[in-house]
Amino acid sequence: MSALKDRHILAVAVGNTRTRLGLFVNGELQDVQVAPSAATADVLAAVRMAIKDHAGVAAVMSSVNEPATDRIESALDEELGEVYRIGRDVHIGMRHSLQDASTLGQDRLLCALGAYARAQQACVIVDAGTAITVDFVDGEGVFHGGVIAPGVRMMLASLHTGTSALPKLDWSDPDYGAGPYGKDTRDAMLKGVRAAAIGLVRHVVESFAEEYEAYPQIVATGGDAPMLFENDPVIEHIVPDLQLVGILEACKAALAEEESTFGED
């Protein structure tokens, strides 16, 4: 891990559908790129775009999609020669109260780590991507877990595959110019899944606040967050690259722990 001290960190978050990556230069995130996780060549092209004009780059990867991550890691290793993985090489040093953390997705914990590092107070993290997760971190930085639900694209797909008549739709922002009523099947489906997503978040946030006996800061991230929550009064901040911030924070904590251990010796 000490080798990361003098490197620019290329944070790479491999998701189920999309891979988001960005270069941290002196702690500042720049050159954020997105590519399909299944298209390794596209991810590699995005990496080259992100790191152009920069030397001394090391990649640190998180994953909720191991097959895609293995392929991308192999390509990055040939490109950069220095690749680390969250969980294997870099520990996420965040306390939790879970009964079983063995299946906890790295994306959820990294987003929580990034959110708390920035907020330094109790917060709810809404990650709107392939799935929608809503998680809670208390004022001491302890991760307490949350809920997992289908994302809007998954809901639309299930409506199509689970029925004989509903069409296959791509997700897009519904048209509310004619009011809240869906005026045709497509409009009704889009408004329905959007309402389901927003209603889920509001209900869960209220239950978290009631349990915590205080109203935490609410942060949204993920590819669908801007379309779902741009003007939503419940969401205080939208941070599209929260997981990348979490990767950087995990690296900083690991380096600090290593330096502290070395100092004790």
| Reported confidence tier of residue 260, pLDDT bands at 50, 70, 90 | low
**pLDDT tens, position by position, 12-46:** 999 988 999 999 998 899 889 999 999 999 999 99
Residue 254's pLDDT is what? 85
Calculate the CA 168 to chain-centre distance.
26
Among residues 81, 86, 84, 72, the alpha carbon closest in space to that of 41 is found at 72
Q: Beta 123-128 vs 237-238: how paired, if at all?
A: unpaired
31, 107, 127, 224: the catalytic one is 107
| Residue 107 designated active-site | yes
How many Å from the N-terminal Cα to the C-terminal Cα in the chain? Answer: 17
pTM, rounded to two decimals: 0.91
Helices (H), the chain: 40-51, 66-80, 106-119, 152-161, 185-212, 225-229, 242-264
Residue 220's pLDDT is what? 97
The strand pairing partners of 85, in sequence order, are 61
